[in-house]
Amino acid sequence: MTLREKLGKSFVLTAELDPPRGSDATKLLEEAKAAQIFVDAVNISDSPQANLRMTPLVAAHLVQQALNLEVIAHFTCRDRNVIALQSELLGAHALGVRNILCLRGDPPERGDHPEAKGVFEVDAVGLSRLVASLNAGKSKAGRDLEPTDFAIAVAANPSAPDLRLEAERFAQKVAAGATFAQTQPVFDLETIQRFEDIVQPSIPVLYGVLPIRSLEMLERVKKWTPVPDALKRDLETHGKRAGIAWTQRIVAELRGAGVAGAHLYPLGNLKVLAQILEPVAVAQ
């Protein structure tokens, strides 16, 4: 079954990988092969934090060409106008990439080329609309094209400070053509329940799971998303083992809650990914 066929029918697991900083994709392929044992698909990011990396569309093609593993390619509005966005999407489709995560993208000043100019001609909603238009066989200019067949993924944040605003934004993405969502990391079911109660997502949602491996990491993460005090206490008592156990429990609870799946952020540590998902694989 393809990822699209699995969504909403079985518990789906995905994991996020970064493309190489240069032109050699060997390490990425090794990471994808290691992740393949446990996940239904891998995400490949688009120059995260605005730091130069290989284009995710080509990286996605290389992974899919080398492995029997689907890829969700991140695609941002930061670096491309609407002509380039559509052009690259058509090329990605020709290379067999079928899953696109539509994102606004980090601003250039955050990255290693702070002097670069951001484009942002459309936002994530506008990009989703562009992809949906290509699926319908139309360019933004109205020209007839051979229809594409992309699954359109979007991002969501269950820990957003204003969930009413998040619900409005989510509804806009669905109206623009989104077919599934992946979220920022969550650390408890209460956060997910609040999100579902207010947002009431009408498409499958894969909830983000981030293994926090140290108190130092926890303090960094707390700067951009809430982390339960109980996790901090566990880390103080048991160290890295507590972070792994907490993440294992969240994945198991997500499965038990009947959600569409989980999206893992291993942050380049595939051993941690294996520690988290081996018990899940055994339980399947």
| Cα(262)–Cα(180) distance, integer angstroms | 12
> How would residue 186 be classed by pLDDT, with cut points 50, 70 and 90?
very high
Q: Which residue has the tokens 């989703």?
A: 128
Per-residue pLDDT reduced to its tens digit, 238-264: 998 999 999 999 999 999 999 999 999
Nearest 5°: CA angle at 224, between 222 and 225? 65
- Give the closest residue to 34 by CA, choosing from 15, 8, 9, 62: 15
| Position 268 pLDDT exceeds 80 | no
Highest averaged pLDDT of the listed ranges 260-264, 267-271, 280-284: 260-264
Q: Which phi and psi (to 5°) does residue 117 adopt?
A: -95, 125
User: Which ranges in the chain belong to alpha helices (H)?
Assistant: 3-6, 26-36, 56-66, 82-94, 124-135, 163-176, 189-199, 215-221, 229-238, 240-257, 270-283
CATH number at residue 226: 3.20.20.220
| Position 279 pLDDT exceeds 80 | no
SS3 category, 214: coil
| Position 282 pLDDT exceeds 50 | no
Count of domains observed in the chain: 1
| Identity of the residue numbered 35 | A
Q: Which phi and psi (to 5°) does residue 134 adopt?
A: -65, -40
Per-residue pLDDT reduced to its tens digit, 86-115: 999 999 999 999 999 999 999 999 999 999
pLDDT, position 280? 61
| Position 224 pLDDT exceeds 60 | yes
Residue scoring higher pLDDT (29 or 270): 29
| Cα(268)–Cα(273) distance, integer angstroms | 9
* Domain residue limits at 163: 3-283
CB 231 within 8 A of CB 206: no
pLDDT, position 284? 53
CB 99 within 8 A of CB 41: yes
CA 222 to chain centre: 20
H helices, E strands: number in the chain: 11, 8
pLDDT, position 266? 85
- Give the closest residue to 127 by CA, choosing from 171, 162, 163, 81: 81
